[in-house]
Structure 1
Amino acid sequence: MSTSRLSLFHDCHRGERCVLVCNGPSLNRMELDFLRGEIVFGLNKIHLGLEKFGFYPRYLVAVNDKVIQQSAEVYRRMTAIKFLSDSCAGLVPEDAFTYHIRTEGLPERFYRDITQGVRGGHTVTHAAFQIIRYMGFREVVVIGMDHNFTASGKPNEELHMKGADPNHFSPDYFRGQKWDAPNLAESEVSYRLARQIFEEEGRRIVDATLGGACDVFEKADYRQVFGSGK
């Protein structure tokens, strides 16, 4: 992993707005045409919805080993700029579109300098916030962060999705695969820290998720933010 490659992204989008597309089922109830005119970050298995939703992310972030292992073949073909955990570096080698980033053995909960690494903070969304801040974005609008899961296991427990996945926009998201049960309480701790750091620096995180259950961030109606009709 070359940290000098990551440094190329420092303040490359200073003062701009981006959209962070999480993977909740609420995406299925939205008209997402507006994303074609935005700088979009996708997460994890967003590739399962690109044809349906009609957009392509400029950036993609994935730090969970299971997700990267399950998606490696697709990631190798994607032309989005990808930030992937270096713990799976052998599965998706670095190239013009792929950047490895340190995610393990890190003491801090939020890293302002991503050349040192990023903390997952129990959710890839938090890792994305660190990258977005490093790039200099002034505002990030979040959609698809439903923050509501159906899971029988304890937080962080490895589970096996036997049937259709009810927690993501696609029923095939984890169908027949292993996944880690969410830890919503710890995710919220990470989110509060991200909000604090963004606001201290004059930046904003706006949660425009349709019917989202997270109450950490400033809320907005995505139709008003983007002028969308649905």
Structure 2
Amino acid sequence: MLEALRANEELAGCHQGRRCFILANGPSVKSLDLTVLEGETVISVSNGYLHGHFMRFAPKYHIVPQITYGTMTEDQVARWFTEMHENIGEAELFLNETEAGIVAERNLFAGRKVRYVALRTNIDEVTDTSIIDIAKPIPRIDSVPVLALMIALHMGFKNIILLGVDHDSWRSGYYTYAFDLKAQADMDYSVTSDGKILSPNYDTFQSLARLWRQYRRLGMIASANGVRIINGGIGGELDEFERIPLKLLLSPDKVQ
């Protein structure tokens, strides 16, 4: 696995000075015209291949967080990965090291470039503002956009624009997506079949506090390295980054 991690060294600064869009899966995305991302460097996550017009903007990278086995069996993970492989075009894939075994044993993602990260450390122990090196063990995450941000920073993007990073389900009490799930439908046991969150508020708020600390630390790292993280989404509760509407971001005189 150390060799697989070292392969990420070649990604350091590979998109230096450019911009990218991290497309998450919050329901606010339904209010966006994603076809405007055609020709942009897009990073999609998890079930994001279910977004409408996905192949129009054809993400260059697709990221999946660590799988929690026990809530999903290996057979269920394999079915999900098979569906993913069939629907993410030519995207380069990032998985956590815990998935290396099942990918190798079941010959998943044949012909696709698959990279691995090692989610092992704690972001609260990150005390400096150096870009986090994904060729080494990196902090564990509470939401996949955090991992996408670490990867985008490592690759040298100067402007990183978030879409669909809503994090507002705690207000409504329901966890929903911008689309209907397929292979992963009814596999989240932390919610009911209609998406109602089962966790008590205490647990939810503890998780949110960890998540916001992760965003704040990455915001500090970005700022110290001349990188702008922009929330280009509609609505949502993430308030750690400046918010600029997507339409303005895509105008000729805005960030590139």
- Asked if TM exceeds 0.5, the reply is yes
Contact persistence 1:57–1:80 (CA under 8 A): yes
Whichever of the two has the greater Rg, that structure is 2
Contact persistence 1:139–1:203 (CA under 8 A): yes
Which residue among 69, 74, 77 is the counterpart of 2:83? 74
Alignment of structure 1 residues 164-183 onto 2, 5 Å = 166-172=175-181, 174-178=184-188, 183=207
Which residue among 239, 249, 255 is the counterpart of 1:225? 249
- Sequence identity of aligned pairs in percent? 24
Cα distance in 1 between the residues matched to 2:181 and 2:213: 29
CA-CA distance at 1:98 after TM superposition: 0.6
Alignment of structure 1 residues 50-69 onto 2, 5 Å = 50-51=52-53, 54-66=56-68, 69=77
Cα distance in 2 between the residues matched to 1:188 and 1:179: 23
CA-CA distance at 1:43 after TM superposition: 0.8
Which residue among 19, 33, 36 is the counterpart of 1:34? 36
Contact persistence 2:40–2:57 (CA under 8 A): no
Contact persistence 2:165–2:236 (CA under 8 A): yes
CA-CA distance at 1:16 after TM superposition: 0.6
Gap change, CA 1:97 and 1:50, over 3 Å in 2: farther
Residue 97, structure 1, aligned to residue 99, structure 2: no
How many residue pairs match? The answer is 216
CA-CA distance at 1:96 after TM superposition: 4.5
Q: 5+ unaligned residues in a row in structure 2: which ranges? A: 191-198
Residue 48, structure 1, aligned to residue 50, structure 2: yes
CA-CA distance at 1:152 after TM superposition: 10
Alignment of structure 1 residues 115-194 onto 2, 5 Å = 115-149=135-169, 166-172=175-181, 174-178=184-188, 183-194=207-218
Gap change, CA 1:166 and 1:54, over 3 Å in 2: farther
Cα distance in 1 between the residues matched to 2:147 and 2:31: 26
Gap change, CA 1:29 and 1:200, over 3 Å in 2: same
Contact persistence 2:93–2:115 (CA under 8 A): yes
DSSP 3-state at the match of 2:186: coil
Cα distance in 1 between the residues matched to 2:25 and 2:242: 19
Describe the superposition over 1:199-223 as per-residue Cα deviations: whole angstroms up to 9, x where unpaired: 0111110001111221111111111
Describe the superposition over 1:63-120 as per-residue Cα deviations: whole angstroms up to 9, x where unpaired: 130489262113444421011011111233486411121113x244566110113323
Q: 5+ unaligned residues in a row in structure 1: which ranges? A: 154-164
Once structures 1 and 2 are overlaid, which stretch shifts more, 11-20 or 112-121?
A: 112-121
Cα distance in 1 between the residues matched to 2:103 and 2:170: 30
RMSD: 2.8
Alignment of structure 1 residues 106-121 onto 2, 5 Å = 106-109=121-124, 112-121=132-141
Alignment of structure 1 residues 182-221 onto 2, 5 Å = 183-221=207-245
Once structures 1 and 2 are overlaid, which stretch shifts more, 34-43 or 72-81?
A: 72-81
CA-CA distance at 1:58 after TM superposition: 0.4
**Amino acid of the structure 2 residue aligned with 1:9:** L
Q: TM-score, normalised by structure 1?
A: 0.83
Cα distance in 1 between the residues matched to 2:177 and 2:171: 12
Q: Show the counterpart of 1:162.
A: none
Gap change, CA 1:147 and 1:107, over 3 Å in 2: closer
